[in-house]
Structure 1
Amino acid sequence: MIDVAIVGAGPYGLSVATHALAAGLDARVFGRPMQAWEWHMPRGMLLKSEPDASHLSDPDRRYGLDAFRRYSYGEPVPVETFIAYGKWFRAQTVKDALDESTVTGIGTEGGLFSVTLSSGATLLARTVVLALGFLPFAHRPNALAQLPPEVSSHSCEHHDLSAFAGRHVAVVGAGQSALETATLLVEAGAKPRIVARTPSLAWNDTPDERRSVLTRTLAPRSGLGTGWPSWVWSELPGAVRYLPKAARSHIVRTTLGPAGSWWLKERFDGAVPVTLGVRLEGADHRDAVRLHLTTGRGTVKTLETEHVIAATGYQVDVGRIDILDPNLRRGVSAGGPRPRLSRTFETRVPGLYMVGLAAAATFGPAMRFVHGSDFAARRVTRGLVSQVRKST
């Protein structure tokens, strides 16, 4: 029996494990370090987050990204470097508390959590932290539901885009994932096209480190960008929790909306054709994939392609966390598909916690990014210590 089972070894899972171990808890983290980043992000990707917003968290802030490799402000970080940093962070902090087994099931037994592993072993834990990241929540438009998987996929399913060389690919979406995927497809020899309902693409401004005192006062810089709203959502996620549900939903939905990074625009412009201002109504597949689109004026048009990639983001739904047994799922989702969490990230099931993207509906948009891992790890560890003390 252990105090804490942490499911997921990405930035949030490794950060929580580091803090829990430092607090004296018998904690173990399960999963291959940085697996989602290594195998579900396209090769050649650059992080959209600034380097100073890409640190994993340890109690003394000794093992930030800048301790592994220093980047200047505005310099994009290659995903390969970030993956190597995450693995280095694990070696410095979590060490032998990592078990690379996959968690296949979580239930309850005698007032404790039973955690079943891919090895067939089962262990008992007083508390469980779900640090599942984004993969369970990949969102695909209903309009693509009838397409077979060999011609339709989500952007998180691709690591090596060279498999599409010479093929026509429609990329649905207008955010960073869509625009960068399309750009990398071109550079891999494919023939992509962006398809999106927005009438025009948005691009982030080039960062300017030399800002006046007045500009810094009126628009402070934060882990989520510049401006007072971004600063509050970035630096005070605990306060977001006390806002009305509708306000929190609006903040999460509208903060840092679909836009491409400034450094991507030059590579994208003139290289990737676009079909904008259209709504995807449906799709079918015979000799080719046909996307049925409606323009703003109600005109129906058809776009043919060989493959379609949905770069359409992620939507949290507890019902999709299939490692939880049905009773735990029902307990967590009693308030809706997105978990309502306590101030220490505890779900409605005592002793069961969620961090990362799953916590965004409660703590705001910072939880969608690596930047939120420091707040989450510190807060959830307080809850874990308190819960373990009560149960022993």
Structure 2
Amino acid sequence: MNLYEKLVNKEEKIAVVGLGYVGMPIAVAFAKKVNVIGFDLNLLKIEQYKKGIDPTNEVGDEAIRQTTVEFTAEPSRLKEAKFHIVAVPTPINADKTPDLSPIKGVSKTIGRNLTKGSIVVFESTVYPGVTEDICIPILERESGLKCGVDFSVGYSPERINPGDQVHRLENIIKIVSAMDEESLEEIAKVYELVVEVGVHRASSIKVAEAAKVVENSQRDINIAFMNELAMVFDRMGIDTQEVVEAMNTKWNALKFTPGLVGGHCIGVDPYYFIYEAEKLGYHSQIILSGRKINDGMGSFVADAIIKKLIQANKVVKQSKVVILGLTFKENCPDTRNSKVEDIIKRLKEFEVEPIVVDPYANPEEANHEYEVDLVPIDMINDADCLVFAVGHDMFKNLTMDQINGMFISSSNEEKIIIDVKSILNKEIILDSGFTYWRL
């Protein structure tokens, strides 16, 4: 009997290591089919899951309460599993180089608790070569076992889109790869238990690793192109969104829009590719240029805010700027690598201390990561400028009376709206007497 059959018969267990926005949905999905151990070093997170609380909002509290996942922060529990799925973050350092400490650390933890006959599948985004050149040696050293003899390794890049309720684990084709054909078939069959649309078998682990960083780099470059256009059109006095609407009438338009590019994938993964390319003597031109453009958009927006304040004859230092949104994307509590931070930093250079509102973000995380104290939206009543930085549904659904109520009541004070995500109706805003700017 192979490992797949033992998992289905519940004679063996799957361990999902790293229970964040990616790992937790995977654990919950597999638990409907097999026995699952959900491991994370974060004790607070584990306690929340045990209480039936989903801080990520990815599957919801009810799904957490009903799941059979055995949540634990005890590394020794990993010895009970034979199929390990690794879903830890792969961030970047301050100098934009890959920070591999999380994946090295988890490789040590799994290695110390690895048993013969196991399969370890990495889902964390890495540059080509990390799984085989860095992770496998750590697993072998810590376990005393031999890869290819005592255990096998595969790579299956995560494709979950946080906050997206349409494109889910079940309906996104899963790339799978492994060190040999036997392991590949085993890994493919296991993932086919939960991925309804099937899997794509990559020819090698390096191909699968490359596919992940490339698909996000491609999206990053396309957004960078739109951001560059937005900066040029702003100088020309042309509304970028109107250009986009006209362009999108063509059948083969790609329908990308300008915006802030943050998060744990698109804003990070290209740097992994750039790093490895430069190690091999190739200096990235297109990918690196796209990253520089996107990394500069927060400052560009902040400068637009300052310009509008000055044009409205407001004293910049005394102006109350309210930023609506801190998370890296709409309707999602994930604040990792949020580029709203760049807007805040730039405004502070002009001695403007912005007020930040975000009903989705965790107040403790906001304070810890960005030193931001979130303010409830109903406490905003004397703003000089509202910055719609994130397209949360709550912000999209604000009425004109609600928006107007957040401004200074004096009739002779100009009211400025900065619409980074272009979620408001331009004509209605202008007809209501507001000063309006959008990216």
Q: For the superposition of Structure 1 and Structure 2, which TM-score range results when normalised by the shorter chain?
A: under 0.3
TM-score, L = length of structure 2: 0.24
TM-score, L = length of structure 1: 0.27
Structure with the greater relative contact order (CA < 8 A, sep ≥ 6): 1 or 2?
Answer: 1
Compare the two structures and name the one with the higher helix fraction.
Answer: 2
